[in-house]
Protein backbone atom coordinates (compact mmCIF):
# COMPACT_ATOMS: atom_id res chain seq x y z
CA UNK A 1 0.00 0.00 0.00
CA UNK A 2 1.34 3.43 -0.96
CA UNK A 3 1.84 5.89 1.91
CA UNK A 4 1.97 9.59 1.24
CA UNK A 5 4.63 11.87 2.72
CA UNK A 6 1.96 13.47 4.89
CA UNK A 7 0.81 10.11 6.27
CA UNK A 8 4.39 9.08 6.87
CA UNK A 9 4.96 12.19 8.98
CA UNK A 10 2.45 10.83 11.50
CA UNK A 11 4.13 7.43 11.71
CA UNK A 12 7.72 8.60 12.21
CA UNK A 13 9.01 10.08 15.49
CA UNK A 14 9.67 13.80 15.70
CA UNK A 15 11.23 15.94 18.37
CA UNK A 16 12.53 13.06 20.46
CA UNK A 17 14.21 14.31 23.62
CA UNK A 18 17.87 13.44 23.40
CA UNK A 19 20.65 12.89 25.90
CA UNK A 20 21.28 15.81 28.26
CA UNK A 21 18.34 17.75 26.82
CA UNK A 22 19.70 17.98 23.26
CA UNK A 23 18.16 16.63 20.08
CA UNK A 24 18.27 12.87 19.65
CA UNK A 25 21.52 12.02 17.86
CA UNK A 26 23.54 9.00 16.78
CA UNK A 27 25.73 8.96 19.90
CA UNK A 28 22.67 8.81 22.12
CA UNK A 29 21.18 6.03 19.96
CA UNK A 30 24.38 3.99 20.36
CA UNK A 31 24.20 4.40 24.15
CA UNK A 32 20.60 3.17 24.12
CA UNK A 33 21.70 0.03 22.28
CA UNK A 34 24.41 -0.59 24.88
CA UNK A 35 21.76 -0.75 27.63
CA UNK A 36 19.76 -3.51 25.93
CA UNK A 37 20.30 -7.01 27.29
CA UNK A 38 20.37 -8.63 23.86
CA UNK A 39 23.13 -8.78 21.30
CA UNK A 40 22.30 -6.34 18.49
CA UNK A 41 24.19 -6.10 15.21
CA UNK A 42 23.40 -3.48 12.59
CA UNK A 43 24.46 -4.55 9.11
CA UNK A 44 23.97 -3.35 5.56
CA UNK A 45 21.81 -5.44 3.22
CA UNK A 46 24.99 -7.18 1.96
CA UNK A 47 26.33 -8.06 5.44
CA UNK A 48 28.78 -5.25 6.23
CA UNK A 49 28.78 -4.55 9.95
CA UNK A 50 27.77 -0.98 10.81
CA UNK A 51 27.51 -1.31 14.58
CA UNK A 52 27.42 -3.96 17.31
CA UNK A 53 26.53 -3.43 20.96
CA UNK A 54 28.66 -4.91 23.77
CA UNK A 55 26.84 -8.27 23.94
CA UNK A 56 27.11 -8.71 20.19
CA UNK A 57 30.81 -7.83 20.28
CA UNK A 58 31.26 -10.42 23.03
CA UNK A 59 29.57 -13.06 20.88
CA UNK A 60 31.65 -12.09 17.85
CA UNK A 61 34.85 -12.37 19.90
CA UNK A 62 33.92 -15.89 21.05
CA UNK A 63 33.43 -17.02 17.43
CA UNK A 64 31.04 -19.79 18.41
CA UNK A 65 28.25 -18.83 16.00
CA UNK A 66 29.31 -15.49 14.54
CA UNK A 67 32.60 -13.90 13.59
CA UNK A 68 34.01 -11.12 11.46
CA UNK A 69 35.72 -11.36 8.10
CA UNK A 70 37.16 -7.91 7.64
CA UNK A 71 34.16 -5.66 8.17
CA UNK A 72 31.64 -8.30 7.11
CA UNK A 73 29.59 -10.67 9.22
CA UNK A 74 30.27 -14.39 8.87
CA UNK A 75 29.39 -17.65 10.55
CA UNK A 76 31.60 -20.23 12.19
CA UNK A 77 31.43 -22.35 9.03
CA UNK A 78 30.90 -21.56 5.33
CA UNK A 79 27.40 -23.04 5.47
CA UNK A 80 26.50 -20.86 8.45
CA UNK A 81 27.86 -17.82 6.62
CA UNK A 82 25.51 -18.61 3.74
CA UNK A 83 22.67 -19.05 6.23
CA UNK A 84 23.37 -15.68 7.88
CA UNK A 85 23.80 -13.76 4.63
CA UNK A 86 20.67 -15.39 3.25
CA UNK A 87 18.68 -14.12 6.23
CA UNK A 88 20.23 -10.65 5.87
CA UNK A 89 19.50 -10.52 2.14
CA UNK A 90 15.88 -11.57 2.62
CA UNK A 91 15.54 -8.95 5.35
CA UNK A 92 17.06 -6.52 2.84
CA UNK A 93 14.06 -7.35 0.67
CA UNK A 94 11.70 -6.46 3.50
CA UNK A 95 11.11 -9.95 4.92
CA UNK A 96 11.45 -10.59 8.65
CA UNK A 97 12.64 -14.03 9.66
CA UNK A 98 14.49 -16.00 12.29
CA UNK A 99 17.47 -18.25 11.67
CA UNK A 100 19.02 -20.83 13.99
CA UNK A 101 22.79 -21.26 14.21
CA UNK A 102 24.17 -24.40 15.84
CA UNK A 103 27.47 -25.13 17.54
CA UNK A 104 27.91 -28.61 19.08
CA UNK A 105 24.90 -29.00 21.42
CA UNK A 106 24.22 -25.25 21.60
CA UNK A 107 22.19 -23.01 19.34
CA UNK A 108 21.67 -19.31 18.80
CA UNK A 109 18.44 -17.87 17.43
CA UNK A 110 18.89 -14.73 15.38
CA UNK A 111 16.03 -12.47 14.23
CA UNK A 112 16.67 -10.57 10.98
CA UNK A 113 14.68 -7.34 10.94
CA UNK A 114 14.60 -4.80 8.07
CA UNK A 115 14.97 -1.20 9.29
CA UNK A 116 13.24 0.50 6.40
CA UNK A 117 9.72 0.93 5.06
CA UNK A 118 8.43 -1.15 2.14
CA UNK A 119 8.35 1.94 -0.10
CA UNK A 120 12.02 2.73 0.60
CA UNK A 121 15.14 1.33 -0.99
CA UNK A 122 16.94 -1.48 0.83
CA UNK A 123 18.65 -0.15 3.93
CA UNK A 124 20.14 -1.49 7.14
CA UNK A 125 19.16 -4.78 8.76
CA UNK A 126 19.07 -5.38 12.51
CA UNK A 127 20.18 -8.79 13.78
CA UNK A 128 18.78 -9.51 17.24
CA UNK A 129 20.59 -12.33 19.07
CA UNK A 130 18.79 -14.51 21.59
CA UNK A 131 19.79 -13.83 25.17
CA UNK A 132 22.51 -16.17 26.39
CA UNK A 133 22.31 -17.63 29.91
CA UNK A 134 25.88 -16.57 30.75
CA UNK A 135 25.37 -12.85 30.11
CA UNK A 136 25.43 -10.45 33.04
CA UNK A 137 22.01 -9.05 33.99
CA UNK A 138 21.44 -7.15 37.22
CA UNK A 139 17.64 -7.31 37.03
CA UNK A 140 17.42 -10.30 39.36
CA UNK A 141 19.75 -8.63 41.87
CA UNK A 142 17.65 -5.45 41.84
CA UNK A 143 14.46 -7.50 42.16
CA UNK A 144 15.95 -9.33 45.16
CA UNK A 145 17.01 -6.06 46.75
CA UNK A 146 13.58 -4.48 46.30
CA UNK A 147 11.93 -7.46 48.05
CA UNK A 148 14.63 -7.70 50.74
CA UNK A 149 15.66 -11.23 49.79
CA UNK A 150 18.68 -12.78 51.45
CA UNK A 151 21.66 -13.91 49.38
CA UNK A 152 20.57 -17.53 49.76
CA UNK A 153 16.99 -16.74 48.72
CA UNK A 154 18.26 -14.88 45.66
CA UNK A 155 20.43 -17.87 44.77
CA UNK A 156 17.46 -20.24 45.10
CA UNK A 157 15.33 -17.93 42.94
CA UNK A 158 18.05 -17.83 40.28
CA UNK A 159 18.22 -21.64 40.30
CA UNK A 160 14.46 -21.81 39.82
CA UNK A 161 14.71 -19.37 36.92
CA UNK A 162 17.48 -21.51 35.43
CA UNK A 163 15.05 -24.43 35.28
CA UNK A 164 16.10 -26.42 38.33
CA UNK A 165 13.42 -28.12 40.43
CA UNK A 166 13.38 -28.00 44.22
CA UNK A 167 14.96 -31.48 44.69
CA UNK A 168 17.70 -30.60 42.19
CA UNK A 169 18.45 -27.36 44.03
CA UNK A 170 18.74 -29.29 47.29
CA UNK A 171 21.19 -31.71 45.68
CA UNK A 172 23.31 -28.95 44.11
CA UNK A 173 23.46 -26.95 47.36
CA UNK A 174 24.02 -30.03 49.53
CA UNK A 175 21.09 -29.24 51.83
CA UNK A 176 17.88 -30.97 52.74
CA UNK A 177 14.70 -30.75 50.71
CA UNK A 178 13.03 -29.13 53.73
CA UNK A 179 15.60 -26.32 53.74
CA UNK A 180 14.99 -25.43 50.10
CA UNK A 181 11.23 -25.56 50.59
CA UNK A 182 11.63 -23.16 53.52
CA UNK A 183 13.50 -20.75 51.24
CA UNK A 184 10.79 -21.07 48.58
CA UNK A 185 8.12 -20.35 51.20
CA UNK A 186 10.03 -17.25 52.23
CA UNK A 187 10.25 -16.18 48.57
CA UNK A 188 6.47 -16.47 48.29
CA UNK A 189 5.92 -14.43 51.45
CA UNK A 190 8.36 -11.65 50.53
CA UNK A 191 7.40 -11.28 46.87
CA UNK A 192 3.67 -11.84 47.30
CA UNK A 193 3.77 -14.31 44.41
CA UNK A 194 2.29 -17.60 45.48
CA UNK A 195 3.63 -20.00 42.87
CA UNK A 196 7.07 -20.87 41.55
CA UNK A 197 5.82 -20.44 37.98
CA UNK A 198 4.56 -16.99 38.85
CA UNK A 199 7.95 -15.96 40.28
CA UNK A 200 9.77 -17.25 37.20
CA UNK A 201 7.37 -15.37 34.92
CA UNK A 202 7.80 -12.17 36.95
CA UNK A 203 11.59 -12.33 36.72
CA UNK A 204 11.40 -13.09 32.98
CA UNK A 205 9.44 -9.88 32.40
CA UNK A 206 11.76 -7.60 34.38
CA UNK A 207 13.42 -4.81 32.40
CA UNK A 208 17.04 -5.77 31.71
CA UNK A 209 19.77 -3.93 33.61
CA UNK A 210 23.30 -4.41 32.31
CA UNK A 211 26.40 -3.58 34.39
CA UNK A 212 27.68 -0.04 33.93
CA UNK A 213 31.16 -1.36 33.08
CA UNK A 214 29.75 -2.95 29.91
CA UNK A 215 28.53 0.31 28.41
CA UNK A 216 30.55 2.01 25.71
CA UNK A 217 31.24 5.73 26.41
CA UNK A 218 32.70 6.93 23.08
CA UNK A 219 30.86 6.98 19.79
CA UNK A 220 31.84 3.89 17.77
CA UNK A 221 33.43 4.23 14.35
CA UNK A 222 33.72 1.81 11.46
CA UNK A 223 37.39 1.19 12.28
CA UNK A 224 36.52 0.24 15.88
CA UNK A 225 34.30 -2.68 14.91
Any domain includes 121: yes
Distances (CA, A) of 121 to 44, 115, 118: 12, 11, 8
pLDDT of residue 212: 59
Q: Considering the chain, what is the average pLDDT of its residues?
A: 82
- Mark whether 120 and 85 lie in a shared domain: yes
- Mark whether 73 and 32 lie in a shared domain: yes
pLDDT of residue 5: 41
- Mark whether 157 and 122 lie in a shared domain: no
Residues of the chain under the 70 pLDDT cut: 1-24, 118-120, 132-137, 211-225
Any domain includes 224: no
pLDDT of residue 213: 52
Distances (CA, A) of 32 to 12, 90, 206, 207, 222: 18, 26, 17, 14, 18
Radius of gyration of the chain (CA): 21
- Mark whether 125 and 60 lie in a shared domain: yes
Any domain includes 82: yes
Where is the domain boundary, 119, 135, 151? 135
Where is the domain boundary, 106, 135, 164? 135
Instruction: For residue 151, give the CATH number of its domain.
Output: 1.10.10.10
Indicate the pairing of strand 97-103 with strand 66-69. unpaired
What pTM did the predictor assign? Answer: 0.66
pLDDT of residue 134: 55
- Mark whether 38 and 109 lie in a shared domain: yes
Identify whether the C-beta of residue 152 lies closer than 8 Å to the C-beta of residue 224. no
Any domain includes 218: no
Any domain includes 222: no
State the residue range of the domain holding 176: 139-204
- Mark whether 126 and 146 lie in a shared domain: no
pLDDT of residue 223: 54
Any domain includes 78: yes
- Mark whether 95 and 152 lie in a shared domain: no
pLDDT of residue 93: 87
Looking at the 3D structure of the chain, how many domains does it have? 2
- Mark whether 151 and 189 lie in a shared domain: yes
- Mark whether 112 and 127 lie in a shared domain: yes
- Mark whether 61 and 94 lie in a shared domain: yes
Amino acid sequence: MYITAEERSYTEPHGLAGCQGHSFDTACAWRVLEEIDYGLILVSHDGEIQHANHLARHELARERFLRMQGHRLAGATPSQTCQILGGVQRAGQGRREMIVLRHADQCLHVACVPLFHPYEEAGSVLLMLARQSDTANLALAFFSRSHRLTAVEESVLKSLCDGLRVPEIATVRGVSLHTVRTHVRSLRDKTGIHSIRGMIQRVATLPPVVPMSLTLPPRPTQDDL
